[in-house]
Amino acid sequence: MSLLSGLSGLGLNDLESMDIYGEAEKAEAKKKAQEPVKIEEKDLIYEKTFKCPCCDSDVPAKIMKTGKAKLIGTDQDLRPRYEGIDAVKYDAILCPACGYTALSRFFPNLTSPQAKLIKEKISANVKIPNYKNEIYSYEEAVERYQLALVNAVVKHGRASEKAYICMKSAWLMRGYRESVTDTDRGTPELVAELKAKEEEYIQNAYNGFVEARQNEGFPMCGMDEITVDYLLGVLAAHLKKYDVASRMVSSILTSTSANNRMKDKARDLKEQIMLQMKNNK
């Protein structure tokens, strides 16, 4: 029996079942406090302004908070995975005034002749959608990466830059495909299309890095020779170019400059290559 039973006679029948010490509310508050806080993508990005090296305009861009986003692992081809956000979506910087677009590590590096080419072939014709969402959707990110690639081609960028864009575009397609899988948006047609595009970008990334390794020096796109060789090995294995993959693995395993982490990755890749070759016989 409630200590407050009988209040109905005083016209307070709705208060008869009140919890005197609020134990139920305290229990509910404690339960909520113990529940993990759900990380939202919008909380892991911030607005940053860049100066366009092509037209000198201010360029607003959404950038991931690297100190706040939690890295939970990497794919074999070094694609990073963060909790609550796909970092790849936030690496292409687009100038809404002239259309100049590049990945963040390349954005400031533009010569006068390159700027002239971009103004003639891109700025004069480009129509940039006016996105106003809190985050970059995959559709928007794909457009930004396409613009980054066409800018690199138009300005006669290095093979390494184009290969790097293609590699990250493959990661983007993979993330996009993962985001729609097992959802209403993940139709078999869309999943197949995204997988096909990922494969095409992987092929182009491989071709570009092969050319770059023959003609460019290191570091390359921020990567040392060991990292590039490992990445080439992974891409080659994926494309069933086992002779190239095996050669890249051997160069890492016999290198005196490769650290233990990279050598462990190379050993894992070597086992994978041997298994794939066995299964393909």
- Verify that 68 and 176 share a domain, yes or no: yes
Query: Any idea which of 20-24, 139-143, 206-210, 221-225 has the lowest mean pLDDT?
Result: 20-24
| Res 36: pLDDT | 63
Query: Based on the domain organization, do 163 and 267 belong to the same domain?
Result: no
* Residues 270 and 135 occupy one common structural domain: no
Going by pLDDT thresholds of 50, 70 and 90, the confidence category of residue 55 is very high
Q: Do 209 and 275 reside in the same domain of the chain?
A: no
Closest CA to 122 of 215, 43, 59, 54: 54
State the residue range of the domain holding 237: 224-281
pLDDT (0 to 100) of residue 209: 98
CA distance 186 to 178: 9
Q: What would the mean pLDDT of 267-272 be, rounded to a whole number?
A: 96
* Same domain flag for 89 and 217: yes
Domain count, the chain: 3
**Per-residue model confidence (pLDDT) at position 185:** 80
Q: Are residues 151 and 87 located together in one domain of the fold?
A: yes
Shared domain for 237 and 175, answered yes or no, is no
pLDDT at 4: 67
Scanning the chain, the segments in alpha helix (DSSP H) are 23-34, 112-118, 138-154, 159-180, 188-215, 225-238, 242-253, 260-279
In a shared domain, residues 185 and 76: yes
pLDDT band at 165 (very low <50, low <70, confident <90, very high): very high
Q: Assess whether 47 and 173 both reside in one domain.
A: yes
Q: Which residues, listed in sequence order, are joined to residue 51 by a DSSP beta bridge?
A: 58
